[in-house]
Amino acid sequence: MKGSRNFAQSLSLTKVRSKAGKTAVIGWMLLQSLLMSAPAMAQARESLSYTGLLKKIDAGEVERVEIDEAQNVARVRLQGKSKTDPPVEVQLLDRNPELIDRLRKNKVTFESDPTADNSVVVGLIANLLLFMLLIAGLLLILRRSSNSPGGPGQAMSFGKSRARFQMEAKTGVMFDDVAGIEEAKEELQEVVTFLKKPERFTAVGARIPKGVLLVGSPGTGKTLLAKAIAGEAGVPFFSISGSEFVEMFVGVGASRVRDLFKKAKENAPCIVFIDEIDAVGRQRGAGIGGGNDEREQTLNQLLTEMDGFEGNAGIIVIAATNRPDVLDSALLRPGRFDRQIVVDLPTHKGRLKILEVHARNKRLADEVCLDTIAQRTPGFSGAELANLLNEAAILTARRRKDAITMLEINDAIDRVIAGMERPPLVDSKRKRLIAYHEVGHAIVATMLKHHDPVQKVTLVPRGQALGITWFTPDEEQGLTTRAEKLAQITCALGGRAAELIIYGEDEITTGAGGDIQAVTSIARQMVTLFGMSDLGNVALESMGNEVFLGRGLMPQSEYSEEMATKIDQQVYQIAMQCYEEACKIIRDNRELVDRLVDVLMDQETIEGDEFRKIVQEYRDSRSQTANAAN
């Protein structure tokens, strides 16, 4: 009864969809019922010891004895018991001559009735049920995993390509949704025209480019351009990441490349997009120990498929990377990647168009000027501009406003650049020292002719900085002059100069640590890379001498020890000259510095226009005083 009740409970609680699951459950229930029924049957029979049986025979209390030689058990029916009662079982010894003598002596009816030994059969059935249970569970796991795309069930086909395939890629992105990178759009629109109207080009002998490599910094819109191509072309589209080719199993990556191009040929003309191709396309032979690894075999197969003995007409491979310097030269040659399109950071006009695209679904106040935002965000990528407007929208919702205002825009810019705002500093000596440090940066930059104008000076802590001074360039700068480099160094040392002039040498702080590191880096580049020192126009270091794939593990000096000493002297000389100039500016404008610090302590933030207004008023007053003295 107990076994059947557990069977019913298990049947009511278990819901299995597949046949394998049902088989597993039924097998488990049968095994459970057998195991639980055995103790119940054993408990239903009364037991008696061998000695007790002999005593009862001598006492005449035994009516009949059945001896089962197979199980070595005697089933005893006692006097006075009902015929419906089960006999008493007695475990016998190996040999029982005394029992037989006692039975004959007391004239007790007995007989030998051997039964079949079912223990072997029961054990076999139990083992068979367990085996069936394991097989059913394995089938259930394989069936479930095979039904899920890309799941563990694909273990038997790990050599197949994992590229996402769309007969007509509906990415929701068109060329109208991509702004700020017009040159790259024009190049890729030509690729789309190749796919839609190839006869226009083949009529004059032009061939479709086999590969297009998108190169640019992170966030400039490379993947977005690929989505736009997929949306515009209207041809089959395969997309995969470079890291999905390489696995721990030898030969899997090459097999996936073969399978990908096999599917692409079946659906030509089509587009194959490989994102982050540098994961599989790094230079060969650069690893430690020969470099004959799985990644290199994958790259070899990719080179063969793109331009090998067999052609792949109608397949255009579009790849994206922000590390073109590490790609193998065989991958970059014409015939594989015929075009390399640089997706650069947007200009002022490009940033304005990007802001217009991302502001379509934002509710902006009338006071918001996208052109002003574009002017304040030089060096921002498209992804950073999108994040900027999103942060402004989040701040607007948090402040329960109906539309995004310039206040939220400015706060979002500060947050993107410097990090989240922290609790303000309390009025103390430490806060005033930080104010002098930041005003030192700002006043030195303002007094220098070749430095960018001040955008904002604030004492509001953000990220790891306790105070921040921002600068905004007037125009996009591709080249930097020696005067501008020296102005950058002098401005960076303005904070330390202010600490020294105002508080003395014993009170200078660790706040200038980052500034000093930047100064050393700029000065060293001037000496070793740009030829802006007394050592002349000699490149003493290379731009890309970082450790790469085992190269450069043992640093090799590109110059002698004597030249290294001269480099150190030149770097020190540049830094000290700029530091002396910064100290001179602070001394000559001590009154102005104190006035700006008082304003900054009161307001905690001084915008660039207000800062320059105070500086101009100070200059006018000094000129009037000088004229009156003359």
Q: Is 547 helix (H, G, I), strand (E, B) or coil?
A: coil
Contacts of 89 (CB under 8 A, 6+ apart): 45, 46, 47, 48, 73, 74, 75, 76
Domain 429-629 has CATH 1.10.1060.10: no
Q: What top-level class would CATH report for the domain 348-418?
A: mainly alpha
Answer whether 280's CB lies under 8 Å from 246's CB: yes
Residues with a catalytic annotation lie at 438
Break the chain into its structural domains and give their ranges: 2-119, 164-342, 348-418, 429-629
pLDDT, tens digit, 9 for 90 and up, residues 368-398: 999 989 988 888 888 999 999 999 999 999 9
**Highest mean pLDDT (candidates 71-85, 187-201, 213-227):** 213-227
Query: What pLDDT score does 145 carry?
Result: 57
3-state secondary structure of 470: strand
Distance CA 232, CA 271 (A): 12
- Residue 418 binned pLDDT confidence (cut-offs 50, 70, 90): confident
Q: What is the reported pLDDT for 116?
A: 55
Q: Which residue has the higher pLDDT, 287 or 316?
A: 316
Instruction: Output the pLDDT for position 498.
Output: 95
pLDDT of residue 502: 93
The H-or-E segment that residue 394 falls in is helix 382-398
User: Which CATH class, in words, describes the domain spanning 164-342?
Assistant: alpha beta
Which pLDDT does position 611 carry in this prediction? 93
Report the relative pairing of strands 468-471 and 315-321 from DSSP bridges: unpaired
Question: What phi and psi values does residue 421 have, to the nearest 5 degrees?
Answer: -70, 135
Residue 526 has pLDDT above 70, yes or no: yes
Whether 284 contacts 299, CB under 8 Å: yes
Which amino acid is residue 487, in one-letter code? A
For residue 336, is pLDDT > 80? yes
**Spatial distance between the Cα atoms of 220 and 342, rounded to a whole number of angstroms:** 10
pLDDT band per the 50, 70, 90 thresholds, residue 401: very high
**166, pLDDT greater than 70:** no
DSSP state of 214: E
Measured CA to CA, the distance from residue 320 to residue 322 in angstroms comes to 7
H or E segment and range at residue 232: helix 222-233
Average pLDDT of the chain? 79
Top-tier CATH class for 2-119: alpha beta
Are the beta carbons of 114 and 69 closer than 8 angstroms? Answer: yes
At 299 the three-state DSSP class reads helix
Q: Cis bond leading into 555, ω under 30°?
A: no
Residue at token pair 């700006």: 596
CB atoms within 10 A of CB 553: 9
Q: What percent of the chain has pLDDT over 70?
A: 80
Q: How far apart are CA 475 and CA 384, in angstroms?
A: 19
Q: pLDDT value at position 15? A: 40
pTM beyond 0.85: the answer is no
Lowest mean pLDDT among 247-256, 302-311, 538-547: 538-547
Residue 267: what pLDDT?
A: 83
Q: What share of the chain has pLDDT > 90, as a percent?
A: 25
How far apart, in whole angstroms, are the C-alpha atoms of residue 539 and residue 529?
A: 5
Categorize the per-residue pLDDT at 250 as very low, low, confident or very high, splitting at 50, 70 and 90: low
Q: What does the pLDDT look like over 564-575, one tens digit per residue?
A: 999 999 999 999
d(CA 594, CA 219) in angstroms, rounded, equals 42
Which tokens hold the place of 255? 């097999």
The residues with which 238 forms a beta bridge, in sequence order, are: 165, 272
What pLDDT is attached to residue 17? 42
Q: Do domains 2-119 and 429-629 have the same CATH topology?
A: no
In the β-sheet with 73-78, what is the strand arrangement from edge to edge? 47-48, 88-91, 73-78, 62-68, 109-112
Higher pLDDT pick, 329 / 80: 329
Other C-beta atoms closer than 10 Å to the C-beta of 582 total 28
How far apart CA 369 and CA 371 sit, in angstroms, is: 5
Give CA 568 to chain center in angstroms. Answer: 40
Helices 590-603 and 608-629, axial angle in degrees (round to 10):
150
Tokens read off for 603: 């307001």
pLDDT for res 532: 92
Residue 236: per-residue pLDDT: 81
Compute the Cα dihedral for 257, 263, 267, 268 and give only its sign: positive
DSSP type of residue 619? H
Beta strand 315-321 pairing with 270-275: parallel
The CA distance from 573 to 475, in Å, is: 30
Q: Is the pLDDT of residue 478 over 80?
A: no
Q: Give 80 or 138, the one with higher predicted confidence.
A: 138
Tell me the three-class secondary structure of 316-385, residue by residue: EEEEEECCHHHECHHHHCCCCCCEEEECCCCCHHHHHHHHHHHCCCCCECCCCCHHHHHHHCCCCCHHHH
Looking at residue 452, what DSSP letter applies?
Answer: P
Min mean pLDDT across 16-20, 194-198, 613-617 is at 16-20
